[in-house]
Amino acid sequence: MAGKPGYDGAQDWRAPVRAREEEGAAGAANPFGRGDPAPFFFLSACRFQIGHNGALKIRITRQDPMTYAAITGWGKCMPPSVLTNADLATFLDTDDEWIVSRTGMKERRISHVSAIEMATVAAKRALACAGLDAADLDLIVYGSCSNDEQVPNSASGVQIGLAAHHAGAMDVNTACTSFLYGLSTASAMIRSGAVRNAVVIGVELISPYMDWSNRGVAVLFGDGCAAVVLQASEREEGVLAEKLGCIAEARQTLRVRGMGCAYANRNITLGDTLWDFDGQEIFKRAVGGMSQASEAVLAKRGVRPEDIDLVVPHQANLRIIESVVKRAGLPMDKVMLTVQRYGNMSAATVPVALVEALEEGRVKPGALMLMPAFGAGLTFCAHLVRWGERVTPIGHSDAELPPSPRSALEIVNGVRAIRAAQGGRSDAGLISVEYAEARQR
């Protein structure tokens, strides 16, 4: 024992995985709890200590295999109503060429139902894909910054829709990174043994809170949802590495005035918003944060750029995606793009792109994927994900949204008409708010 490298009499070589410990003393009954001699290989998981009476005490760890959180189910729910660039040009000073050249976007979706309804349909499809009954679901993680309600939380609304009566339910709001932060949260809880499985949702219903008079933001965003199912696995699948971060000193560069308790009792109508959106600063910070995070996760696992099979990035803007991919040393033909079809759906962009990559056959068994994102805060992250062997659904759900009675343009014009009738009554309250970071200086 004394010859063990680095042994100092109290060194603990035990792996921090779900372990059962037993203590015994030299010369006492076999601490392994069996009549046969203890196998030598267990010595690497032992802790030796000399007691006050001089007896050698041995603490034995029995190690379970490492637990991973494999992605076993997936599903999306996209509203049927499409808002095109031509539709936007009917009430904004813009056109298709202006929008496409700056963003890569040609259309986006506008929802006629709540975010919880979209999330419930997407989750039902993901559960069917995984072959997992909602009654056996342990956890629902709802990633969004446009919740239908604050109290109660939105995840509990999905629990009702799924009839997942035994599941915990939590919301995560890190803006556009909410799905990936939720993926980290659920994966860590599965690895710890707190839960066996989870459904992680990325959903956004931005259209009711959009400032449709502001061309700089109105052309960018859309509604949508997707979800994945995670299940405990001994195979090295799911999130292999992640890097989470936040550039808080730049939080004022992306702010939606009108969403949150800071705007209460200020003569502001709920739904009226003003958007602080510093495009150039956001571009610079987004590219830097996503690139830094991507480099960090590749280095953490010793992965080269050429080892990446597919990049599934946050779809904020085509030029941001191109810059991040170029810095990572990857070709654009390894990137899954949906920005042209759906615009920026905030927390929903990464999971929707992942589901569509699977539908298009771009995710192969054992694929290694890079998922970088950024959002208001300014939060950023990157995830290195190993796919499993199955790339087709086990089952299918018949869950559907009801048909939309109005076109996307009709929905948007309805919102615009309500706000026009108010004559800007909320503007003074929206502008006058003093934020926490200003008071803390």
Confirm whether 381 is a catalytic residue. Answer: no
Record the tokens describing residue 6, joined without a space. Answer: 């680095």
Catalytic site residue from 77, 129, 344, 383: 344
3-state helix, strand, coil in the chain (%, to 5): 35, 25, 40
Peptide bond into 152 cis (omega under 30): yes
- Identity at 383, one-letter amino acid code: H
Q: Could you tell me where the DSSP H helices lie in 95-177? A: 96-103, 115-130, 154-162
How many angstroms separate the CA atoms of 331 and 325, rounded?
7
Catalytic site residue from 46, 176, 225, 381: 176
> What is the Cα 408 distance to its own chain's centre?
27
Record the tokens describing residue 254, joined without a space. Answer: 């992306």
| DSSP result, 242-262 | EEEEE-GGGGGGEEEETSSGG
How many angstroms separate the CA atoms of 268 and 265, rounded?
7
Three-state secondary structure call for residue 203: strand
| Residues 257, 263 contacting (CB under 8 angstroms) | yes
Question: The tokens 């989750």 sit on which residue?
Answer: 123
Parallel/antiparallel/unpaired status of strands 19-25 and 224-233: unpaired
Question: The tokens 């203890």 sit on which residue?
Answer: 38
For the chain, the C-alpha Rg in angstroms (whole number) is 25
Confirm whether 314 is a catalytic residue. Answer: yes
| Residues 386, 260 contacting (CB under 8 angstroms) | no
How many angstroms separate the CA atoms of 221 and 347, rounded?
11
Confirm whether 77 is a catalytic residue. Answer: no
**Beta-carbon-side half-sphere exposure of residue 37 (alpha carbons within 13 Å):** 4
Record the tokens describing residue 145, joined without a space. Answer: 């910054």
Record the tokens describing residue 73, joined without a space. Answer: 């189910």
How many angstroms separate the CA atoms of 126 and 77, rounded?
10
Parallel/antiparallel/unpaired status of strands 238-246 and 224-233: unpaired
Catalytic site residue from 85, 129, 314, 381: 314
Cα–Cα separations (whole angstroms), residue 125 to 70, 191, 400: 17, 24, 9
Active-site residue list:
176, 314, 344
